[in-house]
Structure 1
Amino acid sequence: MRTLLPHLRAHRRPLAAAAALSLVTAATGLAQPLLVRRVIEAVQVAAPVRAAVVAVVVVLVAGSLVGAVQQYLLQRTAEGVVLATRRRLVGRLLRLPVAELDARRTGDLISRVGSDTTLLRAVVTSGLVEVAASAVLAAGAVVAMALVDPVLLAVTLVAVGVGAVAGVAVGRRLRELARASQERVGAMTAAVERALGAVRTLRASGATDREVQAVGRAAEQAYDAGVRAARVQAAISPVVGVAVQGAFVAVLGVGGYRVASGALTVADLVAFILYLFLLVMPLGQLLGAYSQLQLGLGALSRVEEVLALDEEDPGPRGAPTPDAVRPAGAALLELDDVAFSHPGSDRPVLDGVSFRVEPGTRTALVGPSGAGKSTLLGLLERFADPVEGSIRLDGVDLRDLPRAALRARLGYVEQEAPVLAGTLRENLLLAAPRATEAEVAEVLAAVGLSGLAERSPLGLDAQVGEGGVLLSGGERQRLAICRSLLARPELLLLDEPTASLDARNEAALARALDAVQRRSTALVVVAHRLSTVVDADQIVVLEAGRVVGVGRHEELVVSTPLYRELAATQLLVAG
């Protein structure tokens, strides 16, 4: 409950209004038996009953109208709670450290934003306010029943109390099962997301049926967990039903005897039975609301698990950003004895890496797969920090800079070149939302993508499809490069920029990078195809996380056996 209240705090006014309306509804409900008793008493003595009947009708209609307004207010407030929670959750997810996101399944996180937050709606509509309103109505009914006949009240409380205690005990178990059910739903969503993301590979590999079975097994596990929760939730109804039936039978039996003995009038017995209805109905609602509350709190615990995670540290506030005046002897980028290991692993991914990058130069990182090249670019973007050593930009340690200010000076093109679902324009302006049409046209021409905007009558407003599926691999790669170039970074980081390009487009991209470099932008390029970097100002050769050679192509062919071997396998030198 302590975790739930912060989600409701911003909606306390409409919740308070709904609670006030529920009190009005409860008051009209409690007044009805008294008015009915007055009608019966008037009939017994042959007195006029019109006023009493009118009063019953007015109270009944007024209670119904107030109840309808209250339900609308609750529903609207519940949607507001879900909306606010989803915004908080999405904001936290998109600001989590990259390492934290890498350790979690995307589909499960999507499930928490979707289905888990939806269950919070029931907490508001059938939870807190209903619990409070039902409690008030039940308490009022008990007081009125005590005034009518304390003996019948004692009989009622014994029967109803047994059912209420049993219902609460069952409800406590329901929260645990609800959380387990939502976790299974999250696992199923992750399985579906995994399959849809690789649907072409699955069909080409003839693995569609196997994947359908795997997702089906995840769905069956979600079904089993849901059935277990439903079984416990269903147990509440018969418990309440037995208690209600027992209370009515006991009241009718004892009440009939007391009427026969003259201890109770017929009007009082009718009023008491009506109050019994008013007691039983809110108690049933109370136990139902309690079960809904347990379901919602089970889902809320999964939401809170994410909200409790720390966001990525934005870096020191107010820290000075590097300026155009570089300290004497400092390079644009300097790596000094950098070491890095993944959390929980003793195996170093990088070990003692040192090199410098000067403005207006091109540095290439080469080496076999697993040498640590992409990890090094991640450290430059501060997706993680070195465990030893330092990385400096204009002589300032990256850890002393705000992350946003650092990344504003860097351009980063990932190896997979992700393209977001949407239009060409939305993708191009992602890092530079204020770029002009002329600037967009310039970078498109620079990387040979001018024809892409002309291919559709919609131009730059043409859709690219989910993940850029309507583009070729080379077009996705170059679109990602355009996106970074539009931001005019001082340091451009390219992870395998030519991996999806043919020879013609590779040459076009090489010319574009030459033009970029002439604007005094330094380039750090990760490459397996050495033909794209043989003319780099500096080539850094990595092997098993260590630097085994630094120099130009012609120097490394002589001095570094690994580089000579790589060059020979790509026919750049004689074997």
Structure 2
Amino acid sequence: MTDQATERSGGRRADEPPAWRVLLGYVRPHRWALLAGALLSLVTGATGLALPLVARSLIENLTADKAISGALLWLTLLVVANAVIGALGAYVLQRTAESVVLTARRSLTSYLLRLRVSAVDASEPGDLLSRATSDTTLLRAMTTQSLIGLGTGGLTLVATLVMMGVVDLVLLGVTAGVIAVAAVVIGVIAPLIHRASKRAQKSVGDMGASLERVLGALRTVKAAGAERREERTVHAAAERSWEASVEAAKWSAIAGNTVGLAMQGAFITVLAVGGARVATGAIEIGTLVAFLLYVFYLMAPLQDVVQAITQYQVGSAAISRMREVWRMPAEPERSDEEPARSPSEEPAALAFEGVRFRYAPDLPLVHHGVDFAVPPRGMTAFVGPSGAGKTTVFSLVERFYDVTDGRVTVDGRDVLEWDLPELRAAIGYVEQDAPVLSGTLRDNLLFGAPVTSEAELAGTLRTARLESLVERLPEGLDTVVGHRGTKLSGGERQRVAIARALLRRPRLLLLDEATSQLDAVNEAALRDTVADISRRTTVLVVAHRLSTVTSADRIVVMEAGRVRAVGTHSELVAANPLYAELAATQFLTEHDAAGPGPAVGVTAEPAS
């Protein structure tokens, strides 16, 4: 199916279910509550349908000079019952609709958390957030006004027309003709509402993406004096949403007023034709009054049906945007509740065999046949110019991405054959920017190992040299560290990330520029800690300083996505010109590396 054809079908591919089936999937767990609400709505409609008949009886009794107390009592009871049952039905339906929205949000957010990293990299976080929040909210109206409104409104409409036929078939024919004209007009307008609604929702997502981009780098924006420029970008997206929403509102208003116009036309026509029939004696005045009451009563179910159609267009536009998320590649769903720890304590072996990799089919290769092997235990350092593909090695080990060609093996088994939670349970990973999440320091430390003893936590704090930080914070481990750890320094965030990885007791520890923001004293202490850990597990380090490299058991030199050499520091200085140049220009000098001193770092390795 072409993109144009997909757009015409509401953003749905040929192999995908229509929007109403998707909605029914969310409704199914709440079907009994929804059925109860629908039945209450039908009862409300039935009490309303009885009102014109009681009114006709009242008029006939007045004409015949009979008692009207019984008719008045029934009329009062019906009005009260209509109000009470209607309110109860509305509450049940609204509550159920909120439950449907909750089900949709749970489903969509669970899928979002399982998306492949490549899918998230190709998207705007703000737009994805919009799909899980504002788009799912539209399912509320779709449930109450489309699913139930079309059902109860349609049934009430049919029942009303039947009752009108019972009262007078000629007047029914007049009314049906006017309604048919309105139906044709609404059928033309409905697709226009869908397209405008989808554009409005997309613009809301664009606005969210723009705002998230600004707030995520607010210091940079302010330092660059770019507030006004970014403000114009966000406002432009908001204006596009406004324009599309106004267009949708215009067509919805035309549809709604078409119904009003049709009913007014029907009333005038019925009044004229009915008056003539009363004058000729074909019907009684009470019959005309009853029929006119039905014409008035017809307005509510007819509006319900029209509103159901318009809300369906709005809701199906939201579902089409949610479908776009479900089309994104995702990882298998986890079966357990908490992040697992590796069941084995043995260090892991790692190997790359002819690995070729590109981030997208239209992008150049990042790895051009990478080969190296890392035995269990010990520390292996990866060095090379920026863009050599060092960070990509770690991403492939974690299976954030899968190789384009070749194999990555852990313990001799291709990572593609591992159960993904089991593979990641064996790995501790410290990223370049060492992200810290909103919450307390304790929450961040235990993020990957929630079931950790206080003794183990205290030992890891000592290992990562975080004890002084905990003592300094006003509430210790229970201090809230702020959004993205804004209350911590860069070096403190790195130490938190390292401690978080160590608490998982990994068989394979990946440190990507893990000491880049540490001062010389803490860097030296942590280097000794990593050296000690490497005696018990396998450690891979993207090297930042020569002091880290010289203590490594082996060094992998990378350039332009290829492994140029593997060896120890002394071997590579003597035999590899690239490594010798890196050691002389980007790392510390041999003299500085021999003892403590000011650390001269390299720029951070990009995620490539």
Q: If the length of structure 1 is used for normalisation, what is the TM-score?
A: 0.95
| Letter aligned with residue 512 of structure 2 | D
Q: Is the 8 A contact 1:368 1:528 kept in 2?
A: no
- Out of 164, 187, 212, the position equivalent to 2:183 is 164
Superimposed CA distance per residue, residues 116-144 of structure 1 (whole angstroms, 9 cap, x where no aligned partner): 00000001122211111111111111111
Segments of 5+ residues of structure 2 without an aligned counterpart are 1-19, 336-341, 592-608
Question: How do 1:169-180 residues align onto structure 2 when only pairs under 5 Å count?
Answer: 169-180=188-199
- Out of 477, 489, 492, the position equivalent to 1:460 is 477
Aligned residue number for residue 356 of structure 1? 373
Aligned residue number for residue 470 of structure 1? 487
Q: Name the SS of the counterpart of 1:337 in structure 2.
A: strand
1: CA distance between counterparts of 2:451 and 2:522?
A: 28
Aligned residue number for residue 551 of structure 2? 535
| Letter aligned with residue 513 of structure 1 | V
1: CA distance between counterparts of 2:451 and 2:332?
A: 27
- Out of 317, 339, 343, the position equivalent to 2:356 is 339
Over 3 Å counting, the alpha-carbon distance change for 1:530 and 1:225 in structure 2 is: farther
Q: Name the SS of the counterpart of 1:435 in structure 2.
A: coil
1: CA distance between counterparts of 2:42 and 2:243?
A: 40
Give yes or no for the alignment of 1:196 onto 2:182: no
| Letter aligned with residue 488 of structure 1 | R
2: CA distance between counterparts of 1:336 and 1:406?
A: 18
| Letter aligned with residue 11 of structure 1 | H
Q: Deviation of residue 325 (structure 1)?
A: 8.2
2: CA distance between counterparts of 1:405 and 1:367?
A: 31
2: CA distance between counterparts of 1:346 and 1:112?
A: 28
- Out of 254, 257, 261, the position equivalent to 2:273 is 254
Q: Is the 8 A contact 2:515 2:523 kept in 1?
A: yes
Q: Deviation of residue 479 (structure 1)?
A: 0.5
Over 3 Å counting, the alpha-carbon distance change for 1:225 and 1:90 in structure 2 is: same
1: CA distance between counterparts of 2:359 and 2:178?
A: 62
Q: Name the SS of the counterpart of 1:463 in structure 2.
A: coil
User: Number of residues paired by the alignment?
Assistant: 566
Q: Deviation of residue 281 (structure 1)?
A: 2.1
Superimposed CA distance per residue, residues 450-501 of structure 1 (whole angstroms, 9 cap, x where no aligned partner): 1222223322111111111111111111111100000110110011101221
Aligned residue number for residue 263 of structure 1? 282
Q: Deviation of residue 260 (structure 1)?
A: 1.6
Q: Is the 8 A contact 2:460 2:499 kept in 1?
A: yes
Q: Is the 8 A contact 2:130 2:205 kept in 1?
A: yes
Aligned residue number for residue 132 of structure 1? 151
| Letter aligned with residue 495 of structure 2 | R
Superimposed CA distance per residue, residues 13-37 of structure 1 (whole angstroms, 9 cap, x where no aligned partner): 1111112112211111111111111
2: CA distance between counterparts of 1:492 and 1:376?
A: 13
2: CA distance between counterparts of 1:521 and 1:573?
A: 28
1: CA distance between counterparts of 2:129 and 2:346?
A: 45
Q: Deviation of residue 114 (structure 1)?
A: 0.7
- Out of 508, 511, 525, the position equivalent to 2:541 is 525
1: CA distance between counterparts of 2:557 and 2:72?
A: 95
Aligned residue number for residue 29 of structure 1? 48
Q: Name the SS of the counterpart of 1:507 in structure 2.
A: helix
Q: Name the SS of the counterpart of 1:119 in structure 2.
A: helix
Aligned residue number for residue 416 of structure 2? 399
Q: Is the 8 A contact 2:156 2:301 kept in 1?
A: yes
Q: Is the 8 A contact 1:35 1:52 kept in 2?
A: yes
Q: Is the 8 A contact 2:354 2:406 kept in 1?
A: yes
Q: Which 4+ runs in 1 deviate beyond 4 A?
A: 313-316, 321-326
2: CA distance between counterparts of 1:324 and 1:468?
A: 31
Superimposed CA distance per residue, residues 79-135 of structure 1 (whole angstroms, 9 cap, x where no aligned partner): 100001000001001101111111111110000011000000001122211111111
Q: Name the SS of the counterpart of 2:22 in structure 1.
A: coil
Aligned residue number for residue 564 of structure 2? 548
Over 3 Å counting, the alpha-carbon distance change for 1:372 and 1:234 in structure 2 is: same
Q: Is the 8 A contact 2:38 2:93 kept in 1?
A: no
Give yes or no for the alignment of 1:57 onto 2:76: yes
Q: Name the SS of the counterpart of 2:534 in structure 1.
A: helix
Give yes or no for the alignment of 1:89 onto 2:108: yes
2: CA distance between counterparts of 1:322 and 1:242?
A: 72
Aligned residue number for residue 383 of structure 2? 366
Q: Deviation of residue 58 (structure 1)?
A: 0.6
- Out of 24, 34, 39, the position equivalent to 1:20 is 39
Give yes or no for the alignment of 1:480 onto 2:497: yes
Q: Is the 8 A contact 1:315 1:401 kept in 2?
A: no
Q: Deviation of residue 529 (structure 1)?
A: 2.6
Segments of 5+ residues of structure 1 without an aligned counterpart are none
Q: Name the SS of the counterpart of 1:493 in structure 2.
A: strand
Percent of aligned pairs with the same amino acid: 48
Q: Deviation of residue 286 (structure 1)?
A: 1.5
| Letter aligned with residue 407 of structure 1 | R
**Of 5-14 and 539-548, the range deviating more from structure 2:** 5-14
Q: Name the SS of the counterpart of 1:528 in structure 2.
A: coil
- Out of 428, 450, 453, the position equivalent to 1:411 is 428
Over 3 Å counting, the alpha-carbon distance change for 1:478 and 1:323 in structure 2 is: closer
Aligned residue number for residue 75 of structure 1? 94
Give yes or no for the alignment of 1:301 onto 2:287: no
1: CA distance between counterparts of 2:137 and 2:343?
A: 46
Q: Deviation of residue 40 (structure 1)?
A: 0.8
2: CA distance between counterparts of 1:7 and 1:301?
A: 15
| Letter aligned with residue 547 of structure 2 | S
Q: Name the SS of the counterpart of 1:415 in structure 2.
A: coil
2: CA distance between counterparts of 1:315 and 1:457?
A: 37
Q: If the length of structure 2 is used for normalisation, what is the TM-score?
A: 0.90
Q: Deviation of residue 322 (structure 1)?
A: 9.4
1: CA distance between counterparts of 2:588 and 2:62?
A: 111
| Letter aligned with residue 360 of structure 1 | R
